[in-house]
Amino acid sequence: MHTPHLRRIATEEAFCIPEIAEALRELSRGPSNSIDMMLLRKIYDGGTTYQSSFLAPLLDVGAGRLQDMDENGVDMQLLSLTAPGVQLFDADTATELATVANDYLASLIAAHPTRYAGLASFAPQSPKRAVREMCRAVEQLQLNGFIVNSHTNNEYLDEPKYWPILEAAEALDRCLYIHPRGPSEMLSGPMRDYGMFAALWAYGVEVGTHAVRLILSGVFDRFPRLRICLGHMGEAVHFWLWRIDFMSQRAQTAGAPKLQLKPSDYFRRNFVITTSGQESPLALDFSIKQLGIDNVMWAIDYPYQPSAPAVAFMDSVDVTPAQRAQLYHGNAERIFHIKPWT
């Protein structure tokens, strides 16, 4: 009996555009000591190895990327502007570049509607203009959600100045993907040694910290329908939920903001996670049991991670056929408003 092909939607797949690549190259040549520069200087102004491994495939959203997808049975990529997006630039430049990137992404999706969907960028540096771009991205460009690369100028989205962004994401009913970048200055010091500055360790610490700040600040009592996505198997936050719950009760009695729910309740209600760059069957099994199958999606993290092992991982994990379908495409279709196959 023939087994029908299972649709595979990869939900954290990076791209770049020439204008932003050039702007990041110029920035990387400056005197900044930001921890982000440790990787950016290699990708945008370094040797040919990094440029061929990462920059070239980031810029290739045509034949090369589609060939990789076809060779590995990947039906669709949910594209997002690669980190750090526009968040290292001044507000005017960042706003302009986000608009250009979103227009480019929308045209790309229009050219390949069955292969690509997309998350819109915006410039948190200017929250009012960010909200306008978010509305345009959904209402005019029909993009599928939003991407933000954790902190902006060492500030996190729990700060009231950024609440209009959270309010807009909730009102537009679009998920906000919080992707890593180099950690804020408060966290970056110990991360500069031993290769810890990026995905090896620092990225998870940065985004996990951001997520816990959002939960403990009470923003999900203000925006109860806000949906946040975390990659890399949830940046390990849900492995700590029991202890976070316990210690949060103590913190609230000592003056921390009062919460209507337990932190774990918010995580299960307001967060979803992807498997990007974390191909551990044990971690996936725990995530499904901790968060529920409805809150977990498959991703590759292309081109930073290779496609073939990510597909082999999800093809081989010990889940039911119905669960595999949810992980591969069902949850992504629902959460990111992607039209199901007919």
Q: What is the structure's pLDDT at 52?
A: 84
As a whole number, the mean pLDDT across the chain is 96
Predicted confidence band at 50 (pLDDT cuts at 50, 70, 90)? confident
Residue 2: pLDDT above 60? no
Task: Please report the domains of the chain, with CATH numbers, ordered by start residue.
Answer: 9-335 (3.20.20.140)
Reported residue count of the chain is 342
CB 180 within 8 A of CB 199: yes
Predicted confidence band at 95 (pLDDT cuts at 50, 70, 90)? very high
Residues 128-146: what's their mean pLDDT?
Answer: 98
Q: Give the span between the Cα atoms of 150 and 158, in whole angstroms.
A: 11
CB 299 within 8 A of CB 274: yes
Residue 287: pLDDT above 50? yes
CB 147 within 8 A of CB 81: yes
Residue 85: pLDDT above 50? yes
Q: What is the structure's pLDDT at 1?
A: 37
Q: Where are the beta strands (DSSP E) in 16-162?
A: 76-81, 116-120, 145-148
Lookup result for tokens 């971690």: 283
Residue 31: pLDDT above 60? yes
Predicted confidence band at 49 (pLDDT cuts at 50, 70, 90)? confident
Position with higher pLDDT, 286 vs 52:
286
List own/partner pairs for 21-29 with CB under 8 A and 24 or more apart.
Answer: 21/55, 21/58, 21/59, 23/89, 23/93, 23/97, 24/88, 27/88, 27/89
Q: Give the span between the Cα atoms of 241 and 186, in whole angstroms.
A: 23
Give residue-wise pLDDT tens across range 225-260.
999 999 999 999 999 999 999 999 999 999 999 999
Q: Can you tell me whether residue 141 is helix, strand or coil?
A: coil
Q: List active site positions.
A: 301
Residue 276's identity, in one-letter code, is S
Could you give the percent of the chain with pLDDT greater than 70? 99
Go through 220-230 and write b for each residue having 16 or more CB atoms within 10 A of its CB, e for each that does not. Answer: beebeebbbbb
Count the neighbouring beta carbons within 10 Å of the beta carbon of residue 323: 15
Query: Would you say the pTM of this structure is higher than 0.85?
Result: yes
